[in-house]
Structure 1
Amino acid sequence: MRIGLLGTGPWAQLAHAPALDEHHGLDFVGVWGRRPDATKELAGRHGVRAYDDVDTLLADVDAVAVALPPGVQAELAVRAARAGRHLLLDKPLAATVDEARAVAEAAREARVASVIFFTARFQTETEAWIAEQAATDGWFTARAQWLGSVFTTGDSPFAASAWRREKGALWDVGPHALSVLLPVLGDALRVAAAAHGPGDTVHLVLDHAGGASSTLTLSLTAPPAAGGTEVELRGAAGVARLPGGSEGAVPPLLRAADALILAAGSGRPHPCDADFGVRVTEILAEAEGLLGERVG
């Protein structure tokens, strides 16, 4: 599968480009970015072509990987899908529900495969844990904490991200939490409550289709000593806690690329496809609406 990369920022440099370069089932063709100098630098680092035109890149590939802000990603994903290119996307799928639905619709109409890289879903231990808990009945409640220090350490490569500054933890790490909880507890029927905490911290309460409720605490402004990820389930089977992962970003992204190749070849959608990305976006938007009401 010939694949091109859209984006040249820190996530493209640290995760996408190394994974595309390393994957034995992909022919990494080239890079397009919004900054020509950064595009040339990243392409040169991996020995691929630097494109100055998106459509020229699309004409040379079978698929694209996107490492761009969600609003930009959605627009280009629609463009790529309409050109018949498979989609390896990042979370969140889009900045609005309408944009997310447009991506899913374009992928469906063009019959192209889509996989969204929810990092936790492609980590080996996490994937196995989710499958085990999803097969277990009787979950009563869950607690998820995704506490980052992107805006408090002063040295994060993502601290300058304009969309993260605007959308905060809800849209950055919220998708990770939802990607773990939804396959275990079922769809979130509603966001029962949403409240602001310190900095960009938010607290959510969800009611799930399986009958359980969950609480989420999300932040990019946690003190470094308080940071970390925890997911705890409680129910008839007892207590289950998400195992910690230390793989980094590249190995899970290699598996996401495997999933895209399989979905493209088989025609069977992956659980983390654009339609799932739409549902996650809908939940985030519902929570954002409630948080706005609280401020008002």
Structure 2
Amino acid sequence: MTTTRIGLLGTGPWARSVHAPALADHPGVTFAGVWGRRAEAAAALAQAHGTRPYESPDELCADCDAVAIALPPSVQGPLAVRAARAGCHLLLDKPVATSVPEARAVAEAADGAGVASVVFFTARFGAEEGEWIAAQAAAGGWFTAHADWLAPVFSDGSTSPYAHSPWRRDKGGLWDVGPHALSVLLPVLGDAEEVTATRGPADTVLLAMRHSSGAASTATVGLTAPAAAAGVEVTLRGTAGVTTLPRRRHGPGPAYHRALDALLAAVETGLPNACDVHFGLRVTEILAAAEQSLTPLMPQRS
């Protein structure tokens, strides 16, 4: 059976726990190799999955049909542009970037090179969640929606492997879990034509949006929720009544496997996936507008 050669850019916790195992296990994929900013980490991850480390991302791209990227967004964007220009299809993490120009550059590079792209949103590619999203989008008639996407990454006593992530500390829940909330709300309610944001405790942000369907939604996102208060909930209210996003039964691994399926299908058919780089760009545009609407933090009084 012909397989697609996919290389991995990144060696952090997300790459080790999700990307690498799925790339090694997928029957339609040959796990071609690993590049990381720390050569020793790339060598260890490659050895664990029976592949090879590369000394540079360009060397990896030259040997691959596609690349999967598990790096901070400020690093992902420029590398995705280089990979696309080298003719590699793209499996990206959210957010594509944390600035609109960087996200637009990725989209333009993918279009210019004619490569396929998928942005991995765990809810969109989860089996139960994905079916629910598709069903609610087909039903229509939604009036309001609210999403809570709250994690205890930076709460007291956190043992999260992402607690020492500099970009998450800098950009907060708006940019880390905000994309997940948008990945559920936008396909059901339509594009966010208006967005404002209000600060809450620590990095918590409350988004308020008006959608192209006429529906209104709110979303509370953050990485500093107390452990007892953390969790994910999405509720829709409309002519069909009230419905809530089903809880995930499995970890992110099976969802990432389906994201790989989606990329392979886009490569084979030439048809864009709904979660391609252009959707990723739109998510970045909405989050950037929300961030711009936030009032600056006031200095603490001594």
Aligned AA (1:147)? L
**Matching residue within 160, 163, 166 for 1:162:** 166
Mapped partners of 2:297, 2:290: distance in 1: 11
| Superposition deviation, residue 138 in structure 1 | 1.5
Cα-to-partner distance string for 1:158-179 (whole Å, 9 max, x where unaligned): 0111100000000000000000
Residue number in structure 2 paired with 1:280: 283
Aligned AA (2:210)? D
Aligned AA (2:167)? W
Contact kept? 1:147, 1:220, Cα under 8 Å: yes
Residue number in structure 1 paired with 2:106: 103
Mapped partners of 2:7, 2:198: distance in 1: 40
| Superposition deviation, residue 8 in structure 1 | 0.3
Cα-to-partner distance string for 1:90-129 (whole Å, 9 max, x where unaligned): 0000120000000001001111000000010000111110
| Superposition deviation, residue 295 in structure 1 | 5.6
Aligned AA (2:287)? L
Residue identity (%):
62
Distance 1:46 1:199, change over 3 A: same
Contact kept? 1:195, 1:294, Cα under 8 Å: no
The answer to whether residue 39 in structure 2 is matched with residue 36 in structure 1 is: yes
| Superposition deviation, residue 292 in structure 1 | 3.9
Contact kept? 1:120, 1:180, Cα under 8 Å: yes
Residue number in structure 1 paired with 2:178: 174
The answer to whether residue 9 in structure 2 is matched with residue 6 in structure 1 is: yes
Contact kept? 1:5, 1:67, Cα under 8 Å: yes
TM-score, normalising length from structure 2? 0.96
Residue number in structure 1 paired with 2:153: 150
Q: How is 1:14-93 mapped onto 2 (pairs within 5 angstroms)?
A: 14-93=17-96
Residue number in structure 2 paired with 1:248: 251
Alpha-carbon RMSD across the aligned residues, in angstroms, is: 1.1
Q: Residue 247 of structure 1 aligns to a residue in which SS?
A: coil
Mapped partners of 1:246, 1:90: distance in 2: 21
| Superposition deviation, residue 236 in structure 1 | 1.0
| Superposition deviation, residue 190 in structure 1 | 1.2
TM-score, normalising length from structure 1? 0.98
| Superposition deviation, residue 145 in structure 1 | 0.2
Mapped partners of 1:25, 1:60: distance in 2: 17
Query: Tell me, which stretches of 5 or more residues in structure 2 are unaligned?
Result: none
| Superposition deviation, residue 249 in structure 1 | 1.2
Aligned AA (1:165)? R
| Superposition deviation, residue 137 in structure 1 | 2.4
Cα-to-partner distance string for 1:30-67 (whole Å, 9 max, x where unaligned): 10000111111111111110111111111111000000
Q: How is 1:257-276 mapped onto 2 (pairs within 5 angstroms)?
A: 257-276=260-279
Mapped partners of 1:162, 1:137: distance in 2: 40
Contact kept? 1:117, 1:256, Cα under 8 Å: yes
Query: Tell me, which stretches of 5 or more residues in structure 1 are unaligned?
Result: none
Contact kept? 2:74, 2:98, Cα under 8 Å: yes
Residue number in structure 1 paired with 2:125: 122
Distance 1:140 1:295, change over 3 A: farther
Cα-to-partner distance string for 1:187-235 (whole Å, 9 max, x where unaligned): 00010x3111111101010000000000100010000010100000001
Contact kept? 2:140, 2:188, Cα under 8 Å: no
Mapped partners of 1:126, 1:148: distance in 2: 18
